[in-house]
Amino acid sequence: MRAHLGDQLVIESPATGDGKRDGEIVGLHHADGTPPYDVHWSDTDEVTLVFPGPDAHIRHLDQAPGGTAQESHPGAGQAAAVAAPKPRTRTPEAGIVGRRVAEERRRQGLSLDETARRARMAPQYLAHLEERPADPTMAALIRLADALGTTATALLDEGADLPPGQAHALPQPQLRDLAPDECRALLSTHGVGRVAVTASSGHPAILPVNYEVVDEAIAFRTAPDSVAAAAAEAEVAFEVDHLDDTLSRGWSVLAVGPASVVTEPEAVRSLTQHAHTTPWAGGEREMWVSIRPTSLTGRRITPAEQ
């Protein structure tokens, strides 16, 4: 028995009264198309690893629905569906894995077809995974993670409630300073950063905020009575970073400078219209604060040879 991605696996068991079951082959484990297969079943919308028995046959993509079986597996017994090779620690929220896959491939500029080819699965199944609630097997997750240069854990977000940086340090790390141009490039145009302020109580506070970069100024919006509003008319520090636990490397950028409230109506209107997202914290946050960095520094940790 040999199959291609997108072919149908059909199981007919008239002797046992189980009727017929079919599903799309969405994953191959051998380059020559021999079993086992990852099969997306049409009746349960689940994907399982299948070792086809003699009651199974392949319906190829170019074969009409009423076509006859072309091949059968020589082994004995019914087709057995077994669990993924590695159990998950938890079930992800419905559709969240597909959303992360779609976001990551778009960020990398990859088409759906190219991602499916790299992951050795049918484009139809990848589209299904991205657009509808689905629960792929760990084998499919691993292939997708490899195709996107990430990890299955990252796609599942199993470390969402843990602080980053818990991996082991590199055996020979290299810590180097970043030039101002590199810092500006890493700040990019928007994201989530942390602003350090002195609260009205006199205590220091560090708060995450959604920010924009406009004309080399860092802008974020908040509520007038919030702790973050204490940044206005003061010198503040603003930090962004990225940590890669898998590779134990990362970078950070620190901007220091005076902050002020944006009061010019046209400037406020422009910031609001061109903002990439509303504040994740929600609520009424219409006060824009702009930071003009007088100091922009950063550092990056990489393996010594890079």
- Please report the DSSP string for 78-104 in residue order: S-EEE--SS--SSPPPTTHHHHHHHHH
List pLDDT tens digits, range 185-217: 999 889 999 999 988 888 999 999 999 999 899
Going across the sheet that includes 80-82, the strands are 56-59, 8-13, 19-28, 37-41, 47-51, 80-82
More confident residue, 62 or 21: 21
Q: Bridge partners of 222? A: 287
| Topology match between the domains 96-156 and 173-303 | no
Q: Please give the span between the terminal C-alpha atoms of the chain, in angstroms, as a whole number.
A: 47
Q: Which CATH number does 173-303 carry?
A: 2.30.110.10
Q: Give, in words, the CATH class of 96-156.
A: mainly alpha
Q: Give the pairing of strands 47-51 and 287-291.
A: unpaired
Q: Could you tell me how many helices (H) and strands (E) the chain has, helices first? A: 7, 14
Residue among 216, 261, 263, 259 at smallest CA distance from 237: 259
Token digits for 177? Answer: 């300073």
Could you give the percent of the chain with pLDDT greater than 70? 83
State phi, psi for 265 to the nearest 5 degrees: -55, -40
Q: In Å, what is the CA distance from 284 to each residue of 214, 267, 270, 287? A: 22, 19, 18, 9
Write down the domain spans for the chain.
Answer: 8-82, 96-156, 173-303
Measured CA angle at 132 (ends 130, 135), to 5 deg: 80
pTM tops 0.75: no
**pLDDT value at residue 107:** 83
Assign 239 a pLDDT band (cuts: 50, 70, 90).
Answer: very high
Residue among 223, 5, 9 at smallest CA distance from 126: 5
